[in-house]
Structure 1
Amino acid sequence: MEKLVFRFENGQRKLAGATQLVGVVSSGNLEVLVQVADLQNACEIEINTAAMGFGAIWQAVMHDFNQRWQLADASIAINDMGATPAVVSLRLDQAIEACLEQAP
């Protein structure tokens, strides 16, 4: 397993406190856990992946995700079993949209 951590500063969008878990860890898939955390307007993403050596691709996907959402005070954990970048983006967006739907 490889562990990657990304941190994006100066987020603009705060989530409403809802914790969301989407996806299932299985062959070719992943799960995403989103939680609110006091990160001084940053978004931290920790990835545990079975696919070794794809750090540059993960970085590009996480950068794209950050550009779309600009999250503040969000902690995201990803457990991956070889999902494609498209599936990663889909699951991340699904988790954030679920958080926003639960906002009061």
Structure 2
Amino acid sequence: MQTLTYRFPAQEAAAHAIHVGVVASGDLEILLQPPAPGEPTDSVIVRVRTSVNGFDTVWHDVLQRFFARTPLAGSWELNDFGATPGVVNLRLRQAAEAAAS
């Protein structure tokens, strides 16, 4: 297991907590918590727990690309069990869409 932590700039805060996906073979679970009252809303904090070691650069690039288009502040927990970048992007979009509704 490897744990990675990233921070990206944000422009708006998630309105409520979100849970999408599952931790299963080739899938990804995302837990999103909005900033607590009084916490800054100008950054995204992402913690990735992955079963696959050595993909730090891939994770960074996929996340940086996503949050450049969707700068949604909050604490993002990603629990990975071998998800491909396409699945990661799908789950991130699902979480952002759910947070916007």
TM-score w.r.t. the length of structure 2 is: 0.92
**In the aligned structure 2, how far is the partner of 1:34 from the partner of 1:75?**
6
Question: What stretches of structure 1 move > 2 A for 4+ residues in a row?
Answer: none
**In the aligned structure 1, how far is the partner of 2:63 from the partner of 2:96?**
14
**Aligned AA (1:78):** L
Equivalence for 1:32:
30
**Aligned AA (1:42):** S
Matches within 5 A, 1:3-18: 3-9=3-9, 11-16=10-15, 18=16
After TM superposition, give the deviation of residue 70 of structure 1 in Å.
Answer: 1.4
Q: Does 1:57 align with 2:58?
A: yes
Matches within 5 A, 1:40-55: 40-55=41-56
| SS class of match (2:63) | helix
Please report the RMSD computed on the Cα atoms of aligned residues, expressed in angstroms: 1.0
- The total of aligned residue pairs comes to 98
Q: Cα deviation per residue 1:14-68 (whole Å; 9 max; x = unaligned)?
A: 222x111000101111100011122451100000000100000000001011111
| Percent identity for Structure 1 against Structure 2 | 42
TM-score w.r.t. the length of structure 1 is: 0.89
**In the aligned structure 1, how far is the partner of 2:40 from the partner of 2:23?**
27
| SS class of match (2:32) | strand
Specify every segment of 5 or more residues in structure 2 that has no aligned partner in the other structure, as ranges: none
Matches within 5 A, 1:84-95: 84-95=84-95
